[in-house]
Amino acid sequence: MSGGPKKYDAIVVGAGPAGLSAAAELGRAGARTLVLDRDTRPGGQLVKQTHKFFGSEKQRAGTRGVEIARLLREEVAALPAVEMWLNSTVLGFYSDRVITVERVKDAPGEERREWLEKVTAPVFVLATGAAERFLPFPNNDLPGIYGAGAAQTLMNVHGVRPGRRVVMVGAGNIGLIVSYQLLQAGVEVAAIVEAAPVIGGYLVHAAKVRRAGVPILTSHTVKEAHGREALEGVTVWRLDEKWQPVPGTEKYIAADVLCLATGLSPLAELLFQAGCQMAYVPELGGHVPVHGEDLETSVPGVFVAGDVSGVEEASAAMVEGHLAGLGAAARLGLVRDLAAVAAGWRAELASLRAGPSGEKIRRGLAKLAGQTAGMAASSPAGSPVSPASAPAASAPAAPPPATSAPKPGKPGRTLSPQLTSTGEPAASELESSLPPADRRRQGPYAVIECFQEIPCDPCHKACRTGAIGPFPDINLTPAYEAAHCNGCALCVAQCPGLACFVVDENYSPSEALLKLPYEFLPLPAAGHTVDLLDRTGALVGSGRVVRVVRSRSKLATPVVWVTVPSEKVGTVRNIRVPATKGGAAE
Amino acid sequence: MKTTADAVIIGGGITGCATAFELARNGMKNVVLLEKEYLASGATGRCGAGVRQQFGTRINCLMSKASVELFENLNDYLGFDGDIEFNQGGYLLLAHSEATMAQFAKNVALENSLGIPARLCTPEEAKEIVPHLNTEGLVGASFCAEDGHLNPFKVTQAYAEAAQRLGVEVRKFTEATGLIMEGGRVAGVRTAAGDLATPLVLNATGSHAPLIAKTAGVDLPIIGERHQILVTEPVAPLQKPMVISFQYGVYCQQTPHGSFIMGVGDPHEPKGFDQGHSWDFLHRVAEKIAWLLPPLAGIRIVRQWSGIYDLTEDNQPVLDEAPAGCGHFIAAGFSGHGFMLGPTVGRIMAAKMLGQTPPIDVSALNLGRFARRELVLEPSVV
Ligand SMILES: Cc1cc2nc3c(=O)[nH]c(=O)nc-3n(C[C@H](O)[C@H](O)[C@H](O)COP(=O)(O)OP(=O)(O)OC[C@H]3O[C@@H](n4cnc5c(N)ncnc54)[C@H](O)[C@@H]3O)c2cc1C
Ligand SMILES: Cc1cc2nc3c(=O)[nH]c(=O)nc-3n(C[C@H](O)[C@H](O)[C@H](O)COP(=O)(O)OP(=O)(O)OC[C@H]3O[C@@H](n4cnc5c(N)ncnc54)[C@H](O)[C@@H]3O)c2cc1C
Ligand code: SF4
Ligand code: SF4
């Protein structure tokens, strides 16, 4: 009944960004490669990510996750050496390096079939990603309590709204992004609850949900959930400086959905089974395999890539996938000068991790490097793992020319407590984003409300006039020089953080024109009257839509031109299309 | 931390924990138990946890009968605030050959003479007891309704907690690296965390027992052999008894929460301390169980793992002091059925260590029997 295992040159487990990138390298090198994924479509987490990605152009910044998944899929599909089995869950990694796979055929109209398959190869890339963490609190098993990623899958993959009113736990990027997508799906988000005193995710994401009216309660956590058959409400309470709950601060919030975005843990079971040396590194999400820069684990021929090697980002996952794929191909003798081929990717990875938002990862990798003593030489513990080629965050920019070229943002800038704890920029920060008064009167100018150092640069790529200068380090904040700006709003349409706006104070004697990004349906049409909202989502007036610009590129964000009473042009940052009006034009 | 003890127990499985408790219950004040990992991390926490009184040797019948009596009241006996989950659904031993059936007939006669209510069954009667049993090729069976299975973690925990309440110190993650011998007598135990002076040691380290014995100059003929086992998803109650076939080497029980636990023996399993697992085990066990108990074919497997049998030549343990009078006591070599004997072995070894007469005469299970070729062969084991 049981035949022997099928043999390949290489096996990749997981068809997320990491696994697909690894498969692409292996396939290009000519290795007969099998890619396995338990899902029915390849792409991993990307298939549900309808938002635009950060990072640089190399990792397809400004592209939506789903689109990246499609591009990766096509790249791999074009390689004849690569075979992909979907609906195929890897169950075990055995000591003879055979892995068992549960395969399912579930075609409509056919009888469902399940069977066990065994495969083996001299090299493996394990890219199984990570799983969502759960929180302990009373009644956490009520229906209606989801991982944020699960809610995202329901909405964006299956087209099902998880409920009507959501409380989100966790103000990291996942909590913020999923909250925003829930709003886009027409679900009310009652609050985002975050135990830390500061918002962990990118502040541009926080600002986005904040101006849609969602309060972000930092230093708060869930006390308990309520409901009989299903969730009806949540009690939250405040935490003091020592993270202890403060009795008497309980707030009841009615909700039928509670989403937990409290972190991810690497899906490391197969690594344990393979006998890889593991280390517990909280900064990387938990138990991770000890590995060097070549992404090979302590078990020769077993490589890792992506979140399973340390929870990070899709951008890093792709680069790691390339490195692991190249390393595995080199092991097979299919890549000659690995060091030379890998150098570019290594530099890429180091630059992604160079800024302040990569600080945690660097710390985690340094800890891990401390464990690799005896394995391949790596950076000594305590120092960042970036090779010398990485642009250091503090590298001085080229000296500014005498003319008014945009000055790059200063690294290491401190953010106001108001911004980091609520997502609303402080007055001083807003002040700093405005051109001088005389320039403001001269015509339209951009306002870039991007104060935090994050690895992102599409605004520069979008700007044709040079008003937004190049980023000497992708982690710096944008350098904007109003003198060159013509108010074209291309940056507004391209910024994945929706942090760019264009203001024309001279539109009419009493009105200014605001060009803002708008990602909700229905889109308003010219002539419609819309509500004007401030940075907290509060109603501050009404305005008239002058134009809606939709670029031919699917990737661009629609830009709405709306009139705003002159005195409110510094306050208004969002619009709401009233239920009865607008939208008809769609 | 203590540096002296009246007795040191090495090994935190059922044998060590039960003996530690019985020593303390009998008044020994200063007992330390050393476990190199966590309690029940050895064979105890990896076993099928079946308890039967149907054996081919008088000594096993007596020990297991005494254990069943203890298991029946163990929650109270140990003051355990949990439940050891003793499920007395019976044990159905299958005979797929005339020879096995003839052995069962002998066993049942012996068992009945000792007050064990086992009986022989025709294939039809066996099917009444386990309606989903495939009786093709079945010659007959032996059944005892008092047998059953329990939760090995809870049993170990119950013993360890009761022992600690009586003053036993349990040191987890503390490995004994050897015995300190002085003038042919035990003087202490070496551990990674320092020496512990003691005149009395119980070597209850299962398959590791020869390693400790060696440091006392004793050659203990026990070899480790890997045995694999698996658990399925929980399903509605279907099967009350443990079903076991010596011919096919398989056993299968359903736990109270609905999961099936099953295993299959294989003489080709690696010897030593390998606790890995193989994919062909899945095929072997699935093939046999799906044939023997057809409805189980549709149930999903959740996990497989393995443990190590501490095998002796006659499939019987060594319950002895060796060299005689030196203070090094051995309770190991259980050959795959030591969990069910645990409560009784605890009493026997405590009595021996205290210089008292054990409740059951186990002198035949001495170490010298192998050299003298006086084996106590147990025919009825997987
Ligand atoms: C809401 C959200 C927003 C995000 N936003 C961004 C962003 O803006 N920019 C960015 O760079 N990153 C972002 N990320 C992070 C990014 O999605 C992940 O870091 C990335 O997907 C990790 O890639 P991966 O290939 O390692 O794992 P995954 O994408 O998780 O893929 C792993 C794959 O392995 C499969 N698998 C797992 N176990 C098995 C098994 N036993 N057998 C078979 N298959 C298996 C899974 O089905 C899955 O397809 C976001 C993540 C989330 C959840
Ligand atoms: C797959 C399988 C199925 C089984 N099914 C059954 C069944 O259905 N019924 C039944 O009765 N029996 C069964 N058995 C047998 C049963 O599990 C054992 O006989 C019994 O658990 C032995 O218990 P023990 O305490 O003597 O040994 P163990 O449970 O092995 O305990 C020995 C302990 O000593 C520790 N140790 C070892 N060396 C040292 C050291 N140097 N220092 C400190 N600590 C040390 C180990 O970590 C271990 O925890 C099965 C066994 C296996 C493997
Ligand atoms: S509005 Fe146009 S010119 Fe001005 S910064 Fe943006 S893209 Fe550049
Ligand atoms: S302003 Fe530039 S750097 Fe900031 S989020 Fe937008 S595109 Fe990225």
Residues A278 and A363 in one domain: yes
Tell me whether residue A206 is in a domain: yes
The predicted structure's pLDDT at residue A333: 96
CA distances to A239, B99, B244, B311, B382 from B267, rounded to whole Å, are 60, 21, 17, 12, 11
Alpha carbon of A267 to ligand 1 centroid (Å): 10
Q: Is the pLDDT of residue A320 over 80?
A: yes
* Cβ contacts of A94 on chain B, cutoff 8 Å: 276-279
Residues A425 and A571 in one domain: yes
CB contact under 8 A, A96 and B280: no
Q: Are B173 and B35 in contact (CB under 8 A)?
A: yes
* A219 vs A364: CA distance, rounded Å: 24
Q: Which band of pLDDT confidence, cut at 50, 70 and 90, is reported for residue A247?
A: very high
Residues A347 and A237 in one domain: no
Tell me whether residue A395 is in a domain: no
Q: Are A170 and A261 in contact (CB under 8 A)?
A: yes
Residues A424 and A570 in one domain: yes
Strands B328-332 and B260-264: unpaired
* B133 vs B295: CA distance, rounded Å: 9
CB contact under 8 A, A92 and B280: no
- Select from B157, B184, B186, B138 the least CA-distant residue to B8: B186
* B14 vs A388: CA distance, rounded Å: 57
The predicted structure's pLDDT at residue A388: 35
The predicted structure's pLDDT at residue A411: 61
* B200 vs B125: CA distance, rounded Å: 51
Residues A254 and A118 in one domain: no
Task: Name the strand (E) or helix (H) holding A75.
Answer: helix A65-77
Residue linked to tokens 């060159």: A484
Q: Is the pLDDT of residue A386 over 80?
A: no
- Compare CB distances from B276 to A1, A95, A116 and report the shortest one's residue: A95
Strands A123-126 and A302-304: parallel
Among residues A228, A262, A296, which one ends one of the domains? A262
Count Cβ atoms within 10 A of the Cβ of residue B223 and give its class: 0-12 exposed, 13-18 middle, 19 or more buried: middle
Tell me whether residue A401 is in a domain: no
Site to substitute for ligand 4 among A52, A176, A457, most atoms within 8 A of C-beta: A457
Q: Are B303 and B230 in contact (CB under 8 A)?
A: yes
Residue-wise pLDDT tens digits, A161-192? 999 999 999 999 999 999 999 999 999 999 99
Helix/strand/coil for B22: helix
> DSSP state, B337?
-
* DSSP track, A561-575: EEEEEGGGTTT--EE
Tell me whether residue A402 is in a domain: no
The predicted structure's pLDDT at residue A395: 38
Tell me whether residue A389 is in a domain: no
Q: Which band of pLDDT confidence, cut at 50, 70 and 90, is reported for residue A56?
A: low
CA distance A94 to chain B (A): 6
The predicted structure's pLDDT at residue A382: 34
- Residue A186, phi then psi, degrees to nearest 5: 85, 15
Residues A427 and A505 in one domain: yes
Residue-wise pLDDT tens digits, B48-75? 999 999 999 999 999 999 999 999 999 9
The predicted structure's pLDDT at residue B381: 81
CATH at A143: 3.50.50.60
Q: Is the pLDDT of residue A410 over 90?
A: no
Q: Verify cis geometry, omega within 30 degrees of 0, for the bond prior to A522.
A: yes
Helix residue ranges per DSSP H, A103-232: 148-156, 173-184, 203-210
Alpha carbon of A380 to ligand 3 centroid (Å): 44
User: Mean pLDDT over residues A560-577, rounded?
Assistant: 96
**CA A394 from centroid of its chain's CA atoms:** 24
User: Mean pLDDT over residues B167-178, rounded?
Assistant: 97
Q: Verify cis geometry, omega within 30 degrees of 0, for the bond prior to A396.
A: no
Tell me whether residue A400 is in a domain: no
With b meaning 16 or more CB within 10 Å and e meaning fewer, what string describes A364-381?
A: bbbbbbbbbeeeeebbee
* Cβ contacts of B278 on chain A, cutoff 8 Å: 94-96
Helix/strand/coil for A90: strand
Q: Picking from A64-73, A390-399, B183-192, which range would have the lowest pLDDT averaged per residue?
A: A390-399
The B residues from 171 to 230 touching A (CB cutoff 8 Å) are none
Ligand nearest to the CA of A62: 4
Tell me whether residue A382 is in a domain: no
Q: Are A390 and A347 in contact (CB under 8 A)?
A: yes
* Cβ-proximal residues to A115 (8 Å cutoff; 6+ apart), any chain: A102, A103
User: Mean pLDDT over residues B39-50, rounded?
Assistant: 97
Residues A286 and A367 in one domain: yes
Strands A574-576 and A559-565: unpaired
* A307 vs A264: CA distance, rounded Å: 9
Residues A302 and A315 in one domain: yes
Q: Which band of pLDDT confidence, cut at 50, 70 and 90, is reported for residue A400?
A: very low
Domain total of chain A: 3
How many CB atoms within 10 Å of residue B137?
12
> DSSP state, A139?
T
Angle between helices B58-72 and B98-113 (to 10 degrees): 60
Task: Name the strand (E) or helix (H) holding A513.
Answer: strand A511-517
The B residues from 271 to 330 touching A (CB cutoff 8 Å) are 276-280, 282-283, 287, 304
Residue-wise pLDDT tens digits, B25-34? 999 999 999 9
Tell me whether residue A355 is in a domain: yes
* A306 vs A322: CA distance, rounded Å: 10
* Cβ-proximal residues to B34 (8 Å cutoff; 6+ apart), any chain: B8, B9, B10, B11, B12, B171, B174, B175, B176, B189, B191, B196
Q: Which band of pLDDT confidence, cut at 50, 70 and 90, is reported for residue A108?
A: confident
Check: complex ipTM more than 0.95: no
Among residues A262, A292, A307, which one ends one of the domains? A262
Angle between helices A17-28 and A314-331 (to 10 degrees): 30
Among residues A211, A236, A262, which one ends one of the domains? A262
The predicted structure's pLDDT at residue A407: 62
**Residue B257 structure tokens:** 């929460």
User: Mean pLDDT over residues A463-485, rounded?
Assistant: 93
- Provide the Cα torsion B349, B351, B352, B353; round to 10°: 90
The predicted structure's pLDDT at residue B45: 97
> DSSP state, A547?
E
Instruction: Tell me the whole-structure pTM to 2 decimals.
Output: 0.83
Angle between helices A17-28 and A65-77 (to 10 degrees): 20
- Select from A520, A543, A517 the least CA-distant residue to A532: A543
Count Cβ atoms within 10 A of the Cβ of residue B380 and give its class: 0-12 exposed, 13-18 middle, 19 or more buried: buried
The predicted structure's pLDDT at residue B2: 87
Which residue has its alpha carbon closest to ligand 3 atom 7? A463
Q: Are A311 and A301 in contact (CB under 8 A)?
A: no
Range of the domain at A566: 417-576
Residues A270 and A257 in one domain: no
User: Mean pLDDT over residues A512-533, rounded?
Assistant: 96
Helix/strand/coil for B319: strand
Residues A56 and A115 in one domain: yes
- Which residues does A contribute to its contact with B (CB < 8 Å)? 1-2, 5, 92, 94-96, 98, 100, 116, 118
Site to substitute for ligand 4 among A51, A459, A519, most atoms within 8 A of C-beta: A459
Count Cβ atoms within 10 A of the Cβ of residue A537 and give its class: 0-12 exposed, 13-18 middle, 19 or more buried: middle
Q: Which band of pLDDT confidence, cut at 50, 70 and 90, is reported for residue B12?
A: very high
The predicted structure's pLDDT at residue A1: 46
Q: Are B196 and B5 in contact (CB under 8 A)?
A: yes
Q: Are A322 and A439 in contact (CB under 8 A)?
A: no
Residues A99 and A191 in one domain: no
The predicted structure's pLDDT at residue A572: 98
* Cβ-proximal residues to A395 (8 Å cutoff; 6+ apart), any chain: A472, A473
Q: Which band of pLDDT confidence, cut at 50, 70 and 90, is reported for residue A551?
A: confident
Q: Are A245 and A223 in contact (CB under 8 A)?
A: yes
Residue-wise pLDDT tens digits, B113-169? 999 999 999 999 999 999 999 999 999 999 999 999 999 999 999 999 999 999 999
Residues A256 and A368 in one domain: no
Q: Picking from A50-59, A557-566, B299-308, B361-370, which range would have the lowest pLDDT averaged per residue?
A: A50-59
> DSSP state, B139?
-
Site to substitute for ligand 4 among A450, A452, A453, most atoms within 8 A of C-beta: A450
* A555 vs A37: CA distance, rounded Å: 28
Q: Is the pLDDT of residue B263 over 80?
A: yes
Helix residue ranges per DSSP H, A275-386: 314-331, 338-352, 359-371
Q: Which band of pLDDT confidence, cut at 50, 70 and 90, is reported for residue A361?
A: very high
Q: Verify cis geometry, omega within 30 degrees of 0, for the bond prior to B210.
A: no
Average pLDDT value over all residues in chain A: 90
Residue-wise pLDDT tens digits, A424-442? 999 999 999 999 999 999 9
